[in-house]
Amino acid sequence: GENKIERTSKSNLNFNYRECNLECKSVIILEATLLLKKGNKEEIELKIKENIKIRETKQPLYELNAGSIFKNPPGYYAGELVEKVGAKGLSRGKAEVSLKHANFIINNGGALAGDILYLVEEIEKRVKKNFGIKLEREIEILGEP
């Protein structure tokens, strides 16, 4: 429980695809040093713009959301499974499964944590019932809704 600032290396935090070990979850990263490759400035800027355009067409970037809700199960896309069980557009209170990408839950202003958690659990039930797949949450629930 002591609050202190210390240096560590990435090997101590064990970063993997969309997760890190417990030590990572108990710290707040204030600063990071990144190793980048050199390249042509114009090409890099063009690539960044292309990536942003793709994300704009596929994800609700300009709506309040917590990012992807579920990790992709091996061989599947979580958003596709959510869509196939009819949860796209499902809502409760001010929380709604995004019409743009079903693996995002958007806050239409004043959504309650309980409403979001209800949608998450409803999606989990539907996917398990229809496909026999247990979705793994990408988000972490802190406290009680």
Q: For residues 145 and 135, give the distance between their C-alpha atoms in angstroms, rounded to a whole number.
A: 20
H/E stretch holding 92: strand 91-92
Active-site position among 91, 92, 122, 138:
138
Catalytic residue, candidates 2, 18, 19, 91: 18
SS (HEC) of 10-61: HHHHCCECCECCHHHHCCCCCCCCCCCCCCCHHHHHHHHHHHHHHHHHHCCC
Catalytic residue at 138? yes
Residue 124 among the catalytic residues: no
Tell me how crowded residue 13 is: count the other CB atoms within 10 A of its CB. 15
> Other CB atoms closer than 10 Å to residue 119's CB: what's the count?
22
Determine which one of 68, 98, 124, 126 is catalytic: 68
Examine the residue annotation and report whether 137 is marked as an active-site residue of this protein.
Answer: no
Q: Which residues are catalytic?
A: 18, 68, 138
